[in-house]
Amino acid sequence: MENSNTIMSMTEHAGYVWPSYGIAALVLIGLVVLSLRAFRKSRDELERLEAQMPGKSDEA
């Protein structure tokens, strides 16, 4: 059992702890990136369409 309190001294369980944080970061950041990319794409598409149809942009 590891007795030291500091994460840097972790040896025995490093192979379980670091992948947990790594996968969490990958999944959460990945979802943000995908969502932002989809958001920008949809926004550009809507703006292009509204520019083609003047007078419709202020409708909900």
Partner 1 sequence: MLHYFANPTRFQRLSRRVEPWLLAAMLVCFGAGLYFALFSSPVDYQQGHTVRIMYIHVPAAWMALFCYTAMAVSAAVALIWKHALADVAAKATAPIGAAFTFLALVTGSLWGKPMWGTWWVWDARLTSVLVLFFLYLGYMALRDAFDEPGRGARASAILVLVGFVNVPIIKFSVDWWNTLHQPSSVLRMDGPTIHPDMLTPLFLMAAAFQFYYFWLVLLRIRRELMVNRTRALRHRQASA
Residues near partner 1, by CB under 8 A: 1-7, 10, 12-14, 16-17, 19-21, 23-24, 27-28, 31-32, 35-36, 38-39, 42-43, 45-46, 49-50, 52-53, 56, 60
Are 36 and 25 within 8 A, CB to CB?
A: no
Question: In whole angstroms, how close is the CB of 56 to partner 1 at the nearest point?
Answer: 6
Question: In whole angstroms, how close is the CB of 31 to partner 1 at the nearest point?
Answer: 5
